[in-house]
Amino acid sequence: MPGSRSTNWRKSSYSSTQTNCVEVGRSGDLAAVRDSKDRSAGHLAVHPDCWSNFLTALKSDHYPTP
């Protein structure tokens, strides 16, 4: 997201030794996600409600791994 500043980037404690993961943070009032391997590529910012719904779906196995 060009021109917006994101802060407090963090990645899951489950992936602390991994390099192929995503990081989450804030971009203004939005939730932001970026690739930890290519931070300069920018980030995706979504409304916090959408992010929360996505996490709930992940935790309930709505998106099972193949």
Average pLDDT over residues 38-63: 89
Q: Which domain holds residue 35?
A: 6-59
pLDDT of residue 1: 45
Give pLDDT tens digits for 36-50: 888 889 899 999 999
| pLDDT at res. 66 | 65
* Structural domain includes residue 66: no
Please identify which residue in the block is written with the tokens 């030794």.
Answer: 17
Q: Is the pTM of this model over 0.95?
A: no
Number of domains comprising the chain: 1
Q: 27 near 45, Cβ under 8 Å?
A: yes
Find the mean pLDDT for residues 33-62.
Answer: 89
Average pLDDT over residues 18-43: 87
Q: Is residue 38 part of a domain?
A: yes
Assess if residue 31 is contained within a domain. yes
